[in-house]
Amino acid sequence: MTLLEVKGVTKRFGGLTAVDDVSFEIAEGKILGLVGPNGAGKTTLFNCISGLYRVNSGMIVFGGRDITNKPAHIVCRAGIGRTFQIVQNFERMTLTENIMVGAFLRSRGKKQAAEKGLEILEFIQLQEKKDVKARNLSPPEKRRLGLGMALATEPRLLMLDEVMAGLTPVEIDGVLDLLWKIQETGVSIIVIEHVMRAVMAISEKIIVLDSGKKISEGPPEEIAHDDRVIRAYLGKSYAGS
Amino acid sequence: MKTRLRDLMLFFLLGVFLLIYPFVFTQAFYQHIMIMVFMYGLLAISWDIMGGYANLFSFGQSAFFGIGAYVSTLLFLHWEITPWLGMVAGGFASGVVGIIVSYPTARLKGHYFAIATLAFLFVVQIVLENWKFVGGAQGLTLPLTEQSSFWKFQFRESKIPYYYIMLFLLGLGFLLAKGTLNSRVGYYLRALRESQEVAQSLGVNTAKYRLMAIALSGFLSALAGTFYAQYVLYIDPSSVISLNLSVEVVLISVFGGCGTIYGPLIGTVILIPLTNLIRASLGGAGRGIAYMVFGGIIILICVLQPDGLVKLFERSKKAVAREV
């Protein structure tokens, strides 16, 4: 069943068309990769879906409900969680408090939110730092915290903006394991990622954006050999390998 | 567990001290100082909800204060409504004004919001100065009652009733603020202070919680305003709605450490008696000197502990924890 359907979404900033008539869909429990060179419009597309930007045209349907141009908190309530490319956790709050902000959405009270917070901290393996202020985390830990905060809102769709940026190969494998575990619970995931090894491994389908346009869509192995994608993004060496 | 017991003991001792204070310090002047501490404490707490928690840096606090003073006084003068009800009415009026003002300023952040609150302050002041019905620039005088009357909120014989009333109001405000800020609302306010975008993406209706902070802050400030009107029995636009008062409240809170509720209280407890004592001991020139001392202390705290006095306590607590 289709969970999210994006139909002809266009977003312009003055004369620049950052997202140009992009359409795609993602089914329940699937993982979708979103790749493309810097400035291709990936993050802008996320911002359009999550309600931080208003689209100029097009439609976004989530779980059968039109969420086009709905405010971000409504979109989140509908069941879409996201992380940010430039990590912005609540730096002066502790890890537990950070996650509780998300957990309050579907908790009855503070106690329940705190319990859920602890559960998620364990899941993202940061439970030892539960009382540490978010500003004291290392960059990879900050990214995991961002993931945990989004998870706390109990999303049906999780949109991750470069959660693996700057991680070591071992850390990347750790995050991949987390994402698979999340997928097992029935959550769909869209990942924006530049770490090709990871995107190829985890995505069932990949969408390639270039200059705001969707230039290709398909399973990873097809994308890797698509001429347009190689020219725009991957480069010859990747196709050769 | 041990620290909890110690905290309880401290609270108990503090409570006993506050309750017997007016019988130990029987001079009206010392009682007056304490009453001012409570009043400024309530204002500082209410400022902290906006300025400290929600990051809505406000210079308009005394406008809320003034609205509270004016609403209860007018209700009493024109319709003989007891100032107790007037106080509640003033609180709500102030909260509603806060909500109305917050609409056009909804997109303003940081300095720009602060400038808007300054404008708000002057608008309220100018309106009151030129509005005959509310006494204009001459202000309003509350008629003296023949004898003390709880109903009419006037006490002639001593300051003690005022002392307990203001203590009660401060306690009420403290509990209300603490309860709100310890709940979901407090978490949300602290979150939106750091990043509106992230808070929204976690399902927080930031506009709604911003409104709540402004309304609660306005409500509590107005309670202090009504109290002031009944305490002094005379109000005019320049005394209840002054930039001086607003700035004092901001300085006290920042000095004590904003975003903590306790910080502003600590700031009040230190700065208000200090300035009052300096003023009293130096007479007419004291006012200027008091502000100079005020300024000096602020500079010191900015250099030594920019997060406010309350952080000094936190730090020593942590140091203790490390030793154990």
On whether residue B8 sits in a domain, the answer given is no
Could you tell me the end-to-end alpha-carbon distance of chain B, in angstroms, rounded to an integer? 14
Q: What would the two tokens of residue A126 be?
A: 């940061």
pLDDT higher than 50, residue B323: no
On whether residue B6 sits in a domain, the answer given is no
What's the confidence (pLDDT) of residue B286? 62
Summarize pLDDT for B144-169 with one digit per residue, the tens.
777 777 777 777 778 888 899 999 99
Of B68, B57, B127, whose CA–CA distance to B92 is shortest?
Answer: B68
On whether residue B273 sits in a domain, the answer given is yes
Taking CB atoms and an 8 Å limit, are B194 and A149 in contact across chains?
no
User: A192: which strand partners?
Assistant: A34, A161
Secondary structure (3-state) at A206: strand
How distant, in Å, are the alpha carbons of A98, B70, B133 from that of B156?
Answer: 52, 22, 28
- Report the predicted TM-score, pTM, of the whole model to 2 decimal places: 0.85
Average pLDDT over residues B41-48: 93
CB B86 within 8 A of CB B75: yes
Tell me what the pLDDT averaged over chain A comes to: 88
pLDDT higher than 60, residue B176: yes
Which secondary-structure segment (H or E) carries A22? strand A16-27
Summarize pLDDT for B258-307 with one digit per residue, the tens.
888 888 888 898 888 888 888 777 776 666 777 787 788 778 877 777 77
In chain A, the residue whose alpha carbon lies closest to the alpha carbon of B188 is A101
Tell me what the pLDDT averaged over chain B comes to: 84
- On chain B, the residues whose CB falls within 8 A of the CB of A96 are none
> Which of A71, A102, A110 has the CB atom closest to B202's CB atom?
A102
Domain that includes residue B57, residue range: 24-323
- On chain B, the residues whose CB falls within 8 A of the CB of A92 are 190, 194
Average pLDDT over residues B61-82: 89
What's the confidence (pLDDT) of residue B38? 93
Q: Amino acid letter at B64?
A: F
How distant, in Å, are the alpha carbons of A57, A74, B94, B183 from that of A52?
Answer: 15, 11, 32, 26
Largest Cα separation within chain A, whole Å, is 56
ipTM reported for the complex, 2 dp = 0.88
Instruction: Give CA B136 to chain center in angstroms.
Output: 25
Interface test with A, best of B201, B206, B307, B318 (most A CBs within 10 A): B201
On whether residue B249 sits in a domain, the answer given is yes
Q: What is the spatial distance between Cα B293 and Cα B285, in angstroms, rounded to a whole number?
A: 13
Render A63-84 in DSSP notation, one character per residue.
Answer: TTEE-TT--HHHHHHHTEEE--
Question: Of the given ranges (A37-46, B211-220, B250-259), which has the lowest mean pLDDT?
Answer: B250-259
Of B106, B108, B121, whose CA–CA distance to B47 is shortest?
Answer: B121
On whether residue B7 sits in a domain, the answer given is no
Q: What is the spatial distance between Cα B63 and Cα B50, in angstroms, rounded to a whole number?
A: 14
Q: How many domains does chain B have?
A: 1
Summarize pLDDT for A206-233 with one digit per residue, the tens.
998 888 888 888 888 888 887 778 877 7
What's the confidence (pLDDT) of residue A4? 92
Q: What is the DSSP letter of B145?
A: P
Q: Could you give the angle at the alpha carbon of A7 between the alpha carbons of A29 and A66, nearest 5°? A: 75
Interface test with B, best of A53, A67, A88, A90 (most B CBs within 10 A): A90
User: Does domain A2-92+156-240 correspond to CATH entry 1.10.10.10?
Assistant: no
Give the CATH number, domain containing residue B263.
Answer: 1.10.3470
CB A180 within 8 A of CB A147: no
Taking CB atoms and an 8 Å limit, are B202 and A101 in contact across chains?
yes
- On chain B, the residues whose CB falls within 8 A of the CB of A50 are 201
CB A218 within 8 A of CB A232: no
Q: What is the spatial distance between Cα B66 and Cα B39, in angstroms, rounded to a whole number?
A: 13
What's the confidence (pLDDT) of residue A66? 92
Q: What would the two tokens of residue A29 be?
A: 């429990």
Q: Per-residue confidence at A237, pLDDT binned at 50, 70, 90?
A: low
On whether residue B202 sits in a domain, the answer given is yes
Gap from B44 CA to chain A (nearest CA, Å): 22
As a residue count, chain A comes to 241
CB B270 within 8 A of CB B278: no
